[in-house]
């Protein structure tokens, strides 16, 4: 079956612009996660969704970062007023239910100039 998909695969933006990153989880997976992978910080958890609600937003680095999930499916991670330190690969994962194995998408590579 289809895995987790993410779009775009690459995004180059200018400092100060807003960006939206999209994640389509595996069909039927109720839990969805966003992580960030950067050279300096490794892999970091950002936010977790169960259905459309986000019980854990503890990893969002600042209030410029937000995410939503609609219809218990697609999720969008929005970064406002991007900064160069936001440059990273943003990975989305989904799991069948809470605490199940997480399956990852291919990631979106964000470059802020």
Partner 1 sequence: AQKITQTQPGMFVQEKEAVTLDCTYDTSDPSYGLFWYKQPSSGEMIFLIYQGSYDQQNATEGRYSLNFQKARKSANLVISASQLGDSAMYFCAMREPSGGYNKLIFGAGTRLAVHP
For 39, counting Cβ atoms within 10 Å of its Cβ (0-12 exposed, 13-18 middle, 19+ buried), the class is exposed
Q: Is 12 in the site for partner 1 (CB under 8 A)?
A: no
Instruction: Please say whether the beta carbons of 36 and 21 come within 8 A.
Output: no
Q: Is 109 in the site for partner 1 (CB under 8 A)?
A: yes
Site map (CB under 8 A) of partner 1, residues 19-58, x = contact = ------------x-x-x------xx-x--x-x----xx-x
How many of the other CB atoms lie within 10 Å of CB of 33? 23
State the DSSP code for 72.
T
Q: Is 59 in the site for partner 1 (CB under 8 A)?
A: yes
* Interacting residues with partner 1 (CB under 8 A): 31, 33, 35, 42-43, 45, 48, 50, 55-56, 58-59, 89, 91, 93, 98-99, 101-107, 109
């Amino acid at each position: 079956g289809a895995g987790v998909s993410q779009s775009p695969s690459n995004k180059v933006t200018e400092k100060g612009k807003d960006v939206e990153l999209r994640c389509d989880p595996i069909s039927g997976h109720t839990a969805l996660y966003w992580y960030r992978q950067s050279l300096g910080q490794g892999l970091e958890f950002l936010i977790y969704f169960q259905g459309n609600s986000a019980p854990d937003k503890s990893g969002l680095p600042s209030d410029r970062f937000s995410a939503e999930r609609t219809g218990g499916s697609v999720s969008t991670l929005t970064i406002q007023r991007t900064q160069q330190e936001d440059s990273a690969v943003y990975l989305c994962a989904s799991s069948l239910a809470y605490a199940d194995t997480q399956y990852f998408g291919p990631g979106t590579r964000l470059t802020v100039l």
